[in-house]
A and B are shown apart, each in its own frame.
Chain A
Amino acid sequence: MARRVAICAAAQIRNEANIWYQRFQGMLLECFESLVDQTGLTFDMETGVRNVVTCSDDVFDARTISDNGMTDVVGAHYRGEEKMAQDGLNGLGYAMAAIMSGHDDLVLLLGHCKESQSESRHMCTNLAFEPFFTRPLGLDFLSAGGLQARAYMTRAGLTEDHLAEVVVRSRRLAAANPFARENAAVTHQAVAASPLLADPLRELHYYPVTDWAVGMLLCCEERAHEFTDKPVWLTGFGSSMDSYYLGERDLAFSTALQQASQRAFKMAGGVDARDVGLFELNDAAAYQMPLWAEGVGLVPPGDGARWLDADGPDRHQVNRSGGMLNGNPLMLGGLARALEAFYQLRGEAGDRQVDGLERALAHGTTGPAGQHHAVLIMEN
């Protein structure tokens, strides 16, 4: 039987529109020092951290091997250091595997992204497309989202009013989170009047430019008590990759997310969506919240609009944090979801706390219109 793994501590800086005054190393250092202060972790070669997983993206950092400029800051000197260049939630799955296998007792995980650093994040995501068939057309994650939005809204009967309600709710809930990006509260009318960017997506339907850094300490069950009296257990992880070309996927239902969820549920002991008390879904755009709710099995395929009409997000505790839609940078949207589930499962979510929570699901996506999905089941 593989070893159980817990997140013992977490630290973050506030999500902000433009952290021009700090290098990403400085952003990470704040998280790192907080984790050391919280847990007393050491870098002793026998009993301390010997493995660090970092999550970052070369293009957003404008330097390849984007991890090599921060190894000193995250305590990786002469230690194992490996980089996850997909959504940081996969870094959590990777760290989990390192501990389950017995390779490590402790893993330090850190992630950062400064979306504000480039002139255009859409130019960054255009580079996710290969250079012959798709990149020359100017495709990027926003226009891919516009295509997916139309496909899904048609299939599920979603209207502009549904999208506006998702945005208004996101902003309202995020206002209770002291680490959330500070956004103006918006009305349904303001959402509907915001400029169209990639029809049917409007500016307020899409997450805003955000900078952020986050860190976590993971540990095996035998030693978790050294660092916390409130471990949060990682009991299931699954991931799945969809086709590369948009035309080869069903943009209106994610089989890849369904598969990732089923793998995570199976690993967690055969649970399903009905056994989950909190869902944090990686909604880069408003339409994705119901779309991903269908993918994880919370909502029957094609029922997204009915689910929204029936107050589904509040009844099923979906994205109580405000979701990625309020503002987390790309590459960390899923890791931010796991962080929120961590605080909820510890009873430390303040005004947004869900009572009696025992199990949560965190979800991350990588690639245009949710090509790759990762799902993590967490329990207290």
Chain B
Amino acid sequence: MQSDFDTSDCYTIEGKLALPYTYFAGRVGSRFITTLRDQHKIMGVRCAACDTVFVPPRQTCERCLGDLTDSWCEVGSRGRVVNFTVVRYPDRHLPRPVPFVLAMILLEGADTPIVHLLEGIPPEQVAVDMAVEAVFAETTTNTIRDIDHFKPCDA
């Protein structure tokens, strides 16, 4: 603070933003989530023009601008870790007590890795290239958290 700043009549008040929302998931997002929830299948879309399987799926390829609405393909619920971080700062928006691992996981048949929680292994033992598989949630949240987490598996 500037040493000569007059702080008389300087008063702070507490506030909070808390506003419930209802989000439309989009047609493509809705199908991804309901398929994940009801069938425990992870779906991507393939752009034939650039031969890329995108997970999460989307309606349009941002690279080729092609319509991918009917280009669904199932990808595996297993994959490998291509990158990870260990979250160690506690905060209210985090899904787990720290420390926990956020990993980028390339699912079998997909070209774009997704980010998800990696559990069942101490953070210091996580390594790039390790094989992992999805553990589906017992209770739905209608989000990507219908996969509860990924855990290590045999390659």
Contact = CB atoms under 8 A, between A and B. Distances in A.
A16 B5 CA distance: 13
- Looking at chain B's contact residues, the main secondary structure is loop
A133 B89 CA distance: 21
Nearest to B33: A132
A21 to B, nearest CB: 4
Interface in A104-134: 119-120, 122-123, 126, 131-134
Max chain B Cβ within 10 angstroms of own Cβ: one of A137, A138, A150, A246? A137
A241 to B, nearest CB: 10
B103 to A, nearest CB: 9
B95 A247 contact: no
Interface string A188-215: 0000000111111100000000000000
Contacts of B1: 16, 19, 21
Interface in B72-125: 83-89, 91-96, 102, 104, 106, 112-117, 123
B39 interface: no
Contacts of B54: 248
Interface residues of A, number: 41
Given A143-B87, A195-B88, A245-B56, A131 B143 contact: yes
**What class of interface size applies to chain B in its complex with A?**
35 or more
Contacts of A247: 55, 104, 106, 112-115
A146 interface: yes
Given A198-B89, A248-B54, A137 B115 contact: yes
Contact of B86 (A20, A21, A196): A196
Interface of B: 1-2, 5, 7, 10, 12, 15, 17, 21, 23, 25, 29, 33, 54-56, 62, 83-89, 91-96, 102, 104, 106, 112-117, 123, 128, 141, 143-145
23 contacts: A19-B1, A21-B5, A21-B7, A62-B15, A119-B92, A122-B93, A123-B92, A131-B143, A132-B144, A133-B56, A136-B141, A136-B144, A143-B102, A147-B102, A196-B88, A198-B89, A199-B86, A199-B123, A200-B85, A245-B112, A246-B115, A247-B104, A247-B115
Which 9 A-B residue pairs are closest in the complex by CB-CB distance?
A: A146-B85, A247-B113, A138-B94, A199-B86, A247-B112, A21-B10, A126-B93, A133-B56, A198-B85
